[in-house]
Structure 1
């Protein structure tokens, strides 16, 4: 290594709340006290470096470039990962100083034999062969060793984002050399991972139909592997759960992450909106059978072509899910017979899946967010996990559920807020006024649904003197409750101004002046069409709105040429109007931009699609609007759509 000295920057890992952990008790004085202090300091540094190494491994296994990987990249501890062919797959900046004068990207993909650490190749291959953790002493620094530990094979599951091959890898981390206590024998040449603490044997109640038990304390993997798996899953939850604000999609993401990492079957079931239970200690919980909505489910690939339908489910009062919801704690159950398995499943479809998959252990974990229980995660394991759910498994499942519950709760709150906004909009957007009997009228309103919050689309009809009717359609800029409230304000102001019996362009001018006086009001587009069947003419004026379409039974649909002024609320003014012939068998169609605007399409192309439609111009207006929505509205609406159609009645 050319006499290179390796920096050893170690610090104590933060304790709870972010504060540094208190130091271990030290002997007051003496040579033995100094030696013990040195040994414990080395152990602390090794433990801290091991935590950082696990973070790096979890980032690698999840294909992440997120916070976990950035922490590992910036760490002062040297961390690296080699694949099953002893090629470097991940190195941080601190490790580059160990491997030699090369950039990190120059090491990736290079075999260890071709780098300055070629002497460690034999140790790496031995770790891959038998899985034992080994240390490699660095000649350049007698106080430092490279510890090599085998990582578990990555999951060969197509739903994960793992980019690595499903083979073991080796984690390398630079640690202080093991210290000997005074008078102790020589240290082991290849110290293995610490043995796990002994655990009591699992307890079963044989006098019950099935066993409600505390999670088994028998570890299902080594302590290091369990810690690494927990970090890996938590990183995946942070990146992949909650990618949308849709409750069903979020629950499906959680179910997909837990299979096959935590079980062969997973369901995510949510309490109905408004019934989430407080998770505070001693709080009252319902004693009756819980009613839940299954919103996500996943099965391991080998289970077969089975389905877990997402629908309303109801568990028995003494089921593990009911006990879990009442206690707020994970509950494990180990059914031994088909009858006991039946008492775990809420319906026949779930029972069939459990039976076919060979489920022999079920774990129910509460989904708690902001101290409120919003649902439950149910995991099932089969004969491939004879130990059932160990303590490490339950801790991992609980941490995963806690992270995902926040995303699910956010989606629920968003859905509820959107529902309130939609109800408010529908309450404010009442039916338009009645036209004169010489005019036939139809209208439709199509909300965008869960893709976005509600918009400010609106329409209105005002009866004027001498058989005239004013048709109005508008769109307040923005979305949400504020847009719905502004929409109501526009409608009320429009009725007030229209009562002055002004021509359309002067109505827009007056409306613009009134709205612009309110600094908090949002701008809005608006189109006015004054129907005057007695004079057989339309008078049209626009404030930044799309042109109306004229649908004829005898010819193609065409757009009316209307001079366009600025949107309302700007205070600019400058509106004009134009007149068009009113023919009894033609229909004037007013619409908002949600009908034709597409993010990936020019507006002229979208409008050409409208004029290309062959619409039933002579039939009922309701049928015409239904045809427009069926043939032109997108399957997943990105914005609200409002339609208003009018046609002169023949005498």
Structure 2
């Protein structure tokens, strides 16, 4: 304060040593009158404020430094009861500081000064650096917690859409106002490929604050894809593996982000001022990008944001890539299963059939379940349900061999017990090393009967026209491939409108539950017996489903057609 004292010599500070202490300390000290106007400021406060002492004399703090938050209520309480109190002063002065908002902690005492009456003396200390340190520490803790949360909240399933939604939900509103994910599209099934030199991104998931959802819908255009040329920031991120940052972006900078320059207007209309694009990269290939935006009063992205978001992106890229590979392999496996399984043959016109196949939820592997319907002489129809032991491609290949062999044997028109016996003998002779269970049932619409035999397979069920379900317990012979033979058949009545259900153990088998108990539980169901068979199977699956099935499920339903159909 240029050595200038704004207060006349008073007994309390008139002593030379005391005055040297007050004016030489680094702590700001002020003396205020009963109206909170300044009577004295020491040089330390002058350096903090950037103003001379004369600027304060006879004026309140608000009149001199209006950008500071003032503790006037606290000061009046000290004047009233004489109890010292602490108060906080925060804001900015005329002195530039790398800390931005500054913070002081001050203690105020009521004093009686000759000739001045009741006054206040305030002594403060700046704690801006401490507050900044604590804020930074808290921010670091929050971001570490966010990274930890990513491990449990992103990638909880092997579904791409779900994984992308989990990612944007984690990012917004914690680190950004709006977030959107786009995935590199490598397969162009059902759509023409992108132009040469373009990269196709498939829009997946996004999140925006209320009132800004329209921006996400319009940014990428009307279609599900965006074809990105070189020179666009999104493409640059994927090509280099480095994020792109546009803080307080100009229109020209926004145009580096969008394929269509007109979309700059959309950013402006939504109040978006800063953008960050983070690549989703795995060690082997680019997966996609995250687009993040801050709008309105939100601060631009800083270096810490950049580090945190890229760390989240790196983790999410692995989860999304795993989901994508699972989806691709799962689709390929199902296509292979369908190719091996194919649809059952068309039965005789007097019989209608419907079938379902569901892979287990444990893996993408194909399995050994199969079903078939084979027309026989005399308007009979042979229904087949089989299950080769094990999972995977070897079981599926064995299933295909067993199915073809059984079709050849069934052409003889022998009884179901004889067919199973010959089937078992030939499989054992061929040396196929996988056992299989098998259930055969011949429907005879003319006689209104069904004759069935089992090679270690679960019993069929009969759904009566009144929707009651009855399990048909058959004599169970040994599985196919043992060479033991010895199969017995059972003939039951099939009244008009009655449906026969054949299934594999994946439909009813439950952990920690006896299989016979699970089969008997079928009799507690009530199924729609008078509608389409597809509706019956859908209802059956819906009522027995409890999350992902533990084993593959195959179901075959057959019913004699009404004579008037």
Same fold (TM over 0.5): yes
Q: How do residues 197-236 of structure 1 correspond to structure 2 at under 5 angstroms?
A: 225=140, 235-236=148-149
Q: How do residues 347-426 of structure 1 correspond to structure 2 at under 5 angstroms?
A: 358-382=271-295, 386-390=299-303, 392-426=304-338
Tell me the secondary structure at the aligned position of residue 153 of structure 1.
Answer: helix
Cα displacement string for residues 580-601 of structure 1 (whole angstroms, at most 9, x for unaligned residues): 1243442222233444445587
Counterpart in the other structure of 1:580? 492
Whole-angstrom CA distance in 1 between matches of 2:185 and 2:348: 47
Match of 1:559 among 461, 471, 490: 471
Cα displacement string for residues 343-384 of structure 1 (whole angstroms, at most 9, x for unaligned residues): 856899x99996797532211122222331121122223466
Whole-angstrom CA distance in 2 between matches of 1:389 and 1:416: 38
Match of 1:291 among 189, 200, 210: 200
Contact 1:547 1:560 in 2 (8 A): yes
Change (3 A) 1:337 1:492: same
Deviation of 1:487 (Å)? 2.5
Whole-angstrom CA distance in 2 between matches of 1:333 and 1:132: 25
Indicate whether 1:490 and 2:475 are aligned: no
Indicate whether 1:264 and 2:177 are aligned: yes
Contact 1:550 1:560 in 2 (8 A): yes
Deviation of 1:288 (Å)? 5.4
Gaps of 5+ in 2: 1-125, 189-193
Cα displacement string for residues 561-613 of structure 1 (whole angstroms, at most 9, x for unaligned residues): 21234443456655432221243442222233444445587756655564345
Tell me the secondary structure at the aligned position of residue 452 of structure 2.
Answer: strand
Counterpart in the other structure of 2:120? none
Deviation of 1:422 (Å)? 0.7
Deviation of 1:458 (Å)? 1.8
Whole-angstrom CA distance in 2 between matches of 1:586 and 1:384: 69
Change (3 A) 1:508 1:458: same
Counterpart in the other structure of 1:444? 355
Whole-angstrom CA distance in 2 between matches of 1:610 and 1:353: 58
Counterpart in the other structure of 2:130? 130
Change (3 A) 1:384 1:644: same
Change (3 A) 1:293 1:600: farther
Contact 1:552 1:617 in 2 (8 A): yes
Change (3 A) 1:351 1:564: farther
State the TM-score, normalizing by the size of structure 2: 0.62
Cα displacement string for residues 129-148 of structure 1 (whole angstroms, at most 9, x for unaligned residues): 93588xxxxxxxxxxxxxxx
Contact 2:389 2:435 in 1 (8 A): yes
Whole-angstrom CA distance in 2 between matches of 1:570 and 1:129: 82
Contact 1:476 1:522 in 2 (8 A): yes
Deviation of 1:511 (Å)? 3.1
Change (3 A) 1:242 1:571: farther
Whole-angstrom CA distance in 2 between matches of 1:456 and 1:409: 29
Deviation of 1:456 (Å)? 3.5
Q: How do residues 246-645 of structure 1 correspond to structure 2 at under 5 angstroms?
A: 246-260=159-173, 262-274=175-187, 290-298=199-207, 303-304=209-210, 307=213, 312-314=224-226, 317=229, 319-334=232-247, 336=249, 344=257, 358-382=271-295, 386-390=299-303, 392-437=304-349, 439-448=350-359, 452-453=363-364, 454-515=366-427, 521-553=433-465, 556-569=468-481, 575-597=487-509, 607=519, 610-617=522-529, 621-622=533-534, 624-625=536-537, 628-629=540-541, 639-645=552-558
Contact 2:361 2:549 in 1 (8 A): no
Whole-angstrom CA distance in 1 between matches of 2:527 and 2:237: 58
Change (3 A) 1:624 1:432: same
Match of 1:245 among 158, 176, 180: 158
Contact 2:352 2:559 in 1 (8 A): yes
Tell me the secondary structure at the aligned position of residue 480 of structure 2.
Answer: coil
Whole-angstrom CA distance in 2 between matches of 1:329 and 1:337: 21
Question: Larger radius of gyration, structure 1 or 2?
Answer: 2
Contact 1:242 1:407 in 2 (8 A): yes
Q: What do you get for the CA RMSD once the two structures are aligned?
A: 4.4
Q: Which has the higher strand share?
A: 2
Deviation of 1:630 (Å)? 5.8
Whole-angstrom CA distance in 1 between matches of 2:521 and 2:127: 65
Whole-angstrom CA distance in 1 between matches of 2:127 and 2:512: 53
Change (3 A) 1:481 1:412: farther
Whole-angstrom CA distance in 2 between matches of 1:360 and 1:530: 73
Match of 1:152 among 137, 141, 151: 137
Change (3 A) 1:347 1:250: farther
Contact 2:355 2:557 in 1 (8 A): yes
Whole-angstrom CA distance in 1 between matches of 2:421 and 2:528: 36
Deviation of 1:461 (Å)? 1.9
Whole-angstrom CA distance in 2 between matches of 1:410 and 1:486: 29
Deviation of 1:427 (Å)? 1.5
Deviation of 1:425 (Å)? 1.2
Contact 2:497 2:559 in 1 (8 A): no
Contact 2:501 2:555 in 1 (8 A): no
Whole-angstrom CA distance in 2 between matches of 1:363 and 1:519: 63
Gaps of 5+ in 1: 1-125, 134-148, 155-224, 276-284
